[in-house]
A and B are shown apart, each in its own frame.
Chain A
Amino acid sequence: MSNLLIWRKGVNSVMLTVTGVFTVITVAALFLILGYLVYYGGSSLDWNFFTKLPLSAGETGGGLANAILGSLEIVAVAALIGLPIGFLAGVYLSEFPDKVFAPAVRYVADLLNGIPSIVVGLLAWGLLVVPMRQFSGLAGSIALSAMLIPIVTRQTEQFLREVPNSLREGALALGACKWKMVATVVVPAGSKGILTGMILGVARISGESAPLLFTAFNNQFWNGSIMQPTASLPVMIYFRALSPYDDWHRQAWAAGLVLIGMVLTANILARLVIARGISVPRG
């Protein structure tokens, strides 16, 4: 073998090994993160965490029950606003598109999807917090729903497009009008994928803290109405982790474990169980 060939073969095996090593590093990062959370969070997690209110600074004990409840409230309201809007906009893009308007909506939805979440928080702040002169859980929900809408829109569109045209033609040939065809044939056919997209979207927004910092803000007590400052798990983690108290750091780890448990469970459920057999578009 000539020297050149030996060199080329050497480069080949070195570089191919390097790509394998990079893959291992990337995947290992995930397990390292999970391992850290399970180790530190698991040892700090107890029943009080789920049932008790936070204690004042420096005291040991207490829990984050109000933040768990607050997160559920904020995300539920955001989902109530965002899911129907996103879904119907997705139906528009796939089933009733217009030559000029549809590409514009699609492009703007993608752009809205890429806008930093903290900037979306500024929108909700200007819309609700300024006129009401008060932080409120509702403002947080509005911010999160503005993030949810474009995600659900694009996912719904992509899954509806995967429904074969023969189903549409079949429905029309049986005499169905267009809206009946969409409602009774096309949407049910794409429902698994749409559901997956919705779960992924809700999981994504439930981990967001940046848009909540100056909309829902925080609260040390049970949340009153949704028109008042509302505690949430991600924001609580942020404040706890930056505090100087060891006991609060423990709570940050525990809350992190609970949050990632919920988010990853939703992701795995959605992509492995519900979406089994259909390809999930990414983006």
Chain B
Amino acid sequence: MATPLVVETPVIRRQTQAGDIVARWVVTVFAASILFVTALLVYQLWTGSAPSRLKSGFGFLTSTQWNPVTEEFGALPFIYGTVLTSVLALLISVPLGLGAAIYLAELAPARLSDALTFLVELLAAIPSVIYGVLAIFAVVPLMRSHVEPFLKSSLGFLPLFKGPSLGVGFLTAGVVLSIMTVPYIVSVSRESLLAVPREQREAALALGATRWEMVWQVVVPYAKLGIFGSIFLSLARALGETMAVTMVIGNDPKIRASLLAPGYSIAAVIANEFSEATGATYQAALVELGLILFVLTIIINAVARLMIAATTRKGSKRS
């Protein structure tokens, strides 16, 4: 090693090293607090749900009875409602969001694209209780007097569209959720599309593809992991969405085939009944529903993050 030009005195070196060690410790402790909070959450959900888990075991997942008076608790109607509304939401928001993302990434001039994306992302900033207010006062009457009668008269032979038009129910919750999840799909899908290298586009066009063929057969497949990531991300959001769903799903713990029928979701039943739940088993059953929701969203989020991380690091159309 070469001789250093400036020789530090040992005192200064010791002081600076001490400062760095302290700083490293401080920030590490704060970073560890994130792990601590998460661990605490898992612990709370696990111990809080213990009375219910011990009483009904795995039967909790398959039972369809929910009767606080007789202390019978089953999660299936809530799982059904949660999954059904989320799937309905995705059926609407995936085509809508992907279409908008394609327009924003491939067709719109950069400035317009950024401005419109900003507006779409503002949709994600709107508090969910406000979606709920609009859903109750604007979407529910619309569904009750126009959309649902129309669906029944045109597709009423299917079991999916039977029963009275209440306005509240699975379909309405799905429609509201679709608007709430669209910004995530647009935002993340657009990023993944923009990350597709320019050469891919040029090669497709040079082979004589039309613009749409280039997008659909080359760019979208190239970015598919990121697009799937965005879909999983919004699925996780839809599964855990509470307020807006609670206000329009109808709050009836029954499994029904008709999309027009009222139902219930996991998040909605916790929101509605938790502060009034009396009795240890009742409360524990609600916490166990929270545990189920937690596990469900953790798995889906983990998959989404991996997919998004795998695509968005490959170079960019605009860089």
Contact = CB atoms under 8 A, between A and B. Distances in A.
A30 B27 contact: no
Interface string B203-231: 00000001111001000000000000000
A47 interface: no
A93 B30 CA distance: 10
Nearest to B241: A116
Contact of B95 (A22, A37, A210, A253): A22
A168 B184 CA distance: 35
A44 to B, nearest CB: 12
Interface residues of B, number: 91
B36 to A, nearest CB: 10
Given A234-B127, A263-B125, A282-B187, A119 B240 contact: yes
With most chain B CB atoms within 10 A of its CB, the pick from A37, A122, A179, A210 is A122
Given A8-B210, A19-B103, A241-B133, A89 B33 contact: yes
Contacts of B210: 8-9, 11-12
Interface in B59-81: none
Contacts of A21: 99
A153 B34 contact: yes
Contact of A26 (B19, B96, B137, B298): B96
A19 B100 contact: yes
A207 B128 contact: yes
Nearest to B112: A23
B45 interface: yes
B271 A118 contact: yes
Contacts of B35: 104-105, 108
Contacts of B45: 119, 122-123
Interface residues of A, number: 93
Contact of B126 (A26, A206, A207, A209): A207
Contact of A118 (B44, B130, B213, B242): B242
B79 to A, nearest CB: 14
Interface in B126-184: 126-134, 136-138, 179, 182-183
Interface string B221-261: 00000000000010011011111000100000000000000
A116 B267 contact: yes
B38 A112 contact: yes
A237 B123 CA distance: 19
B297 A114 contact: yes
Nearest to B180: A29
Contacts of A263: 125-127
Interface string B277-294: 000000000010010011
A213 B274 contact: yes
B88 interface: no
B40 interface: yes
A247 interface: no
Interface string A103-137: 01101111110111111101101110000000100
Nearest to B239: A116
Nearest to A5: B210
Please give me the 4 A-B residue pairs with the lowest Cβ-Cβ distance, nearest first: A116-B240, A207-B127, A22-B99, A179-B23
Given A108-B38, A111-B298, 8 more contacts: A16-B103, A93-B31, A111-B302, A112-B34, A116-B293, A123-B40, A179-B20, A260-B130
